[in-house]
C-alpha cells in the first residue's frame, strides 16, 4: 500500500539516533572506553559484523567484552518486544 518508504526512513532514523546517543552518552557522560562502546553498540544491534569491524579498528578485546555484556539481554528483549507488538496489533 506504499508504506514501505516511510517505514524504511523511520527504521533508519531510529537505528542511527540510537547509535549516536549510545556512543555520545557512553563516551562523554559515562567515560566508557570507546572500544568497549563499540562492542556494546554491536550487542545492542545484535550485529556480529559491527563487532568484527570494531575489533579491526581497536585491535584489542574490549569490543568482545562489551558485546558479551549486552548481546544476551538485547536478543531476549527483541524476542519479547516482537511478541508484544504482535499481541498489540493483531
Q: What is the pLDDT of residues 7-66, one digit of tens each?
A: 899 999 999 999 999 999 999 999 999 999 999 999 999 999 999 999 999 999 999 999
- CB-based burial of residue 62 (10 Å sphere; 0-12 exposed, 13-18 middle, 19+ buried)? buried
Question: Taking a C-beta distance cutoff of 8 angstroms, is the pair 35, 60 a contact?
Answer: yes
The per-residue pLDDT for 13 is 96
Residue 90 above 90 pLDDT? no
Q: Which of 44, 52, 51 is closest to 21 using CA atoms?
A: 44
The per-residue pLDDT for 63 is 96
- Return the H-helix or E-strand segment holding 6: helix 4-24
The per-residue pLDDT for 71 is 96
Residue 3 above 80 pLDDT? no
Q: How far apart are CA 54 and CA 43, in angstroms?
A: 11
Per the listing, cell 557512553 goes with: 26
Per the listing, cell 544476551 goes with: 72
Amino acid at each position: 500500500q506504499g508504506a514501505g518508504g516511510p517505514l524504511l526512513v523511520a527504521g533508519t532514523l531510529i537505528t542511527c539516533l540510537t547509535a549516536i546517543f549510545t556512543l555520545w552518552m557512553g563516551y562523554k557522560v559515562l567515560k566508557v572506553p570507546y572500544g568497549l562502546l563499540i562492542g556494546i553498540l554491536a550487542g545492542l544491534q545484535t550485529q556480529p559484523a559491527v563487532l568484527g569491524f570494531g575489533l579491526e579498528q581497536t585491535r584489542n578485546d574490549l569490543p568482545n567484552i562489551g558485546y558479551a555484556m549486552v548481546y544476551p539481554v538485547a536478543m531476549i528483549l527483541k524476542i519479547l518486544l516482537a511478541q508484544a507488538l504482535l499481541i498489540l496489533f493483531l
